[in-house]
Structure 1
Amino acid sequence: MTKPTEILEPSKRKTYSAPALEKGLDILELLANQAEGMNISEITKTLNRSVGELFRMLVVLEQRGYVSLQLGSDRYRLTLKMFGLAHRFPPIKRLTSVSAPVLQRLSYAIEQSCHLVIYYEGKGHVVVQQDSPSERVFSVRLGAEAPLMNTCSGHLLLAFADQSTRSQMLSRIPAHHPNENGFNIDKMVRKVLGQGYESIHSAQAQGIQDIGYPIFDYQDQAVAALIVPFFEYLDASRQTSAADAHQLIQQAAQEISIALGFDAS
């Protein structure tokens, strides 16, 4: 009789092959990085497959609504069907429906863009995004990845996780993401937990101060990070200071948390 621990050990799991499925997934993953789409010749060349291998795959994916041919073109591109499926997943759907009006009010109050980031498979993912109503907008794309080690959202997700979960998160960081050996995780965690928030200069854009607060659910678990990429207006046309923005961001994070069942008392 096989022990439960043996079933869970990745090294002892059987490896299965499903060539047709793998070809379809290869196509979807490739097109996900091609905003302008690709024709079948480009797809087959990139994937090192023959037209015969992939033609039927593309036809079926088109019939099912996962890819589409651009009007008057032979280029295939990804549709929003996968995006829609992902947002039907209950936790994300609940988080989206609860947070959307709160983020809209926040962005109008501070005249800055804001977004929510959740953790999945070694990195953060932007699942809700709200642009600023201002004519000058700096925002993060919906669906963008957020590395854990050098981002405001990553610090929050790591800091508010328990030790076991944090260790697992760190072990799953993709090889191409920053994973600095000199970075003191424990120091960062103590700082963020002591403050209750994170505020750091953006590692991706100059002049941006990322301000973030955690979002909690009914189990008191940090399920997301509310982030504002805050920047100063040189012409003083915006009245909200960084200090005032902090207070409003914290209030918005608490409002979303309470709506998810968090007991803030």
Structure 2
Amino acid sequence: MSEDQLYSSVKNALRILRSFTLDEPEKKVTDLASELGLGKSSVSRLLATMASEGFVIKDPETQKYRLGLTILGLNTVAISCLEVTRESQPILQRLVYEIGETAHVGTLEGMDVVYLNKVECKHPVQILTHIGRRNPAHSTSSGKVILAYQGEEVIEQLIERGLQKYTVNTITDPDDFRSTLKTIRERGYAISIEEMREGVASIAAPVQDYTGKVVYAISVIGPVHRMNPYDVSIINKVKSAAKEISEKLGYWKN
């Protein structure tokens, strides 16, 4: 096998792994071949190789593949090694104790928020925000607060892709969305009230790395009947927690 062929095989294997999602956790060879534009024999060969190393598992009854335990192990190592995960843990725990709602740390990947750390309260909201979960940035407080500090090209790229509507409160008008991000920058925090899911609200504040760039967000999420997203005391606690994590990551504001 030439170097170019090896590179192509590795790239296609990674494309296969990334194609598995929470919405489609299992796929057949024909599904993958059609989705990725590859030959069925190539996909079958790559899956067999990955299965031998535990990266995927084949269900003998359905003939469908799903991610294997090797991926889980790598994910655990990757998450545990992230400095922000380590540094945020006690701060998230304190925030949950003080506010009584679930707290997260997330980052922006593409046009989605990916949750890197999470501490649940005693009665958490039933919404998909587990570690590794991707949610649309424009309809979450974490996503909006990170986007507010990004360059104009990033924001416009998201708008051009389309602001999908999830509830009646989801911001879908481009001008309204730009205005919202401007307000977030001015206030230093973001709120989301039933924008992703009805009955759920969240508050987020920006977390900066040692260069001062906003790369993460800390947020608390709870049901609207239990958590008032306009509560100044809660907002200040979230902002204070974000500042503390930023400092632990090496950022000090002059």
Structure 1 and Structure 2 fold alike (TM over 0.5): yes
- Aligned in 2, Cα 1:68/1:226: closer, same or farther, shift over 3 Å? same
Report if the CA contact (8 A) 1:114-1:139 is conserved.
no
- For 2:216, the aligned partner's letter is A
- For 1:248, the aligned partner's letter is K
Q: Secondary structure at the match of 2:211?
A: coil
- Aligned in 2, Cα 1:62/1:30: closer, same or farther, shift over 3 Å? same
CA distance in 2 between partners of 1:143 and 1:76 (Å)? 20
For residues 46-97 of structure 1, what are the alpha-carbon distances to aligned partners after superposition, in whole Å with 9 as ceiling and x for unaligned? 6676653333211211233321245987542113645665676699711111
Determine if the alignment matches structure 1 residue 53 to structure 2 residue 48. no
How many Å apart are 1:213 and its aligned residue?
Answer: 0.7
* Match 1:256 to one of 242, 245, 249: 245
Structure number with larger C-alpha Rg: 1
Which position in structure 2 is the counterpart of 1:199? 191
CA distance in 2 between partners of 1:178 and 1:81 (Å)? 35
For residues 8-45 of structure 1, what are the alpha-carbon distances to aligned partners after superposition, in whole Å with 9 as ceiling and x for unaligned? xxxxxxxx886534542343233335655245465557
Report if the CA contact (8 A) 1:68-1:79 is conserved.
yes
RMSD: 3.8
Report if the CA contact (8 A) 1:113-1:130 is conserved.
yes
CA distance in 2 between partners of 1:124 and 1:36 (Å)? 19
Which position in structure 1 is the counterpart of 2:113? 124
* Match 1:216 to one of 205, 208, 232: 208
Which position in structure 2 is the counterpart of 1:4? none
- For 2:241, the aligned partner's letter is A
- Aligned in 2, Cα 1:92/1:175: closer, same or farther, shift over 3 Å? farther
- For 1:230, the aligned partner's letter is G
Which position in structure 2 is the counterpart of 1:10? none
CA distance in 1 between partners of 2:182 and 2:161 (Å)? 27
CA distance in 1 between partners of 2:216 and 2:112 (Å)? 12
TM-score, normalization by structure 2: 0.75
Pick which of 210-219 and 78-87 moved more: 78-87
CA distance in 2 between partners of 1:232 and 1:25 (Å)? 40
Q: Secondary structure at the match of 1:127?
A: strand
- For 1:212, the aligned partner's letter is A
Q: Secondary structure at the match of 1:252?
A: helix
CA distance in 1 between partners of 2:159 and 2:185 (Å)? 25
Which position in structure 1 is the counterpart of 2:169? none
For residues 139-172 of structure 1, what are the alpha-carbon distances to aligned partners after superposition, in whole Å with 9 as ceiling and x for unaligned? 52332334343432232112223xxxx1231244
- For 1:263, the aligned partner's letter is W
- Aligned in 2, Cα 1:222/1:43: closer, same or farther, shift over 3 Å? closer
Q: Secondary structure at the match of 2:175?
A: coil
Q: Secondary structure at the match of 1:183?
A: helix
- Aligned in 2, Cα 1:264/1:204: closer, same or farther, shift over 3 Å? same
Once the two structures are superposed, the pairs formed by residues 42-121 of structure 1 within 5 Å of their partners are 43=32, 52-69=41-58, 74-79=63-68, 81-82=70-71, 85=74, 93-121=82-110
CA distance in 2 between partners of 1:198 and 1:64 (Å)? 43
Determine if the alignment matches structure 1 residue 157 to structure 2 residue 142. no
- Aligned in 2, Cα 1:20/1:227: closer, same or farther, shift over 3 Å? same
Determine if the alignment matches structure 1 residue 169 to structure 2 residue 158. no
Which position in structure 2 is the counterpart of 1:190? 182
CA distance in 2 between partners of 1:181 and 1:231 (Å)? 25
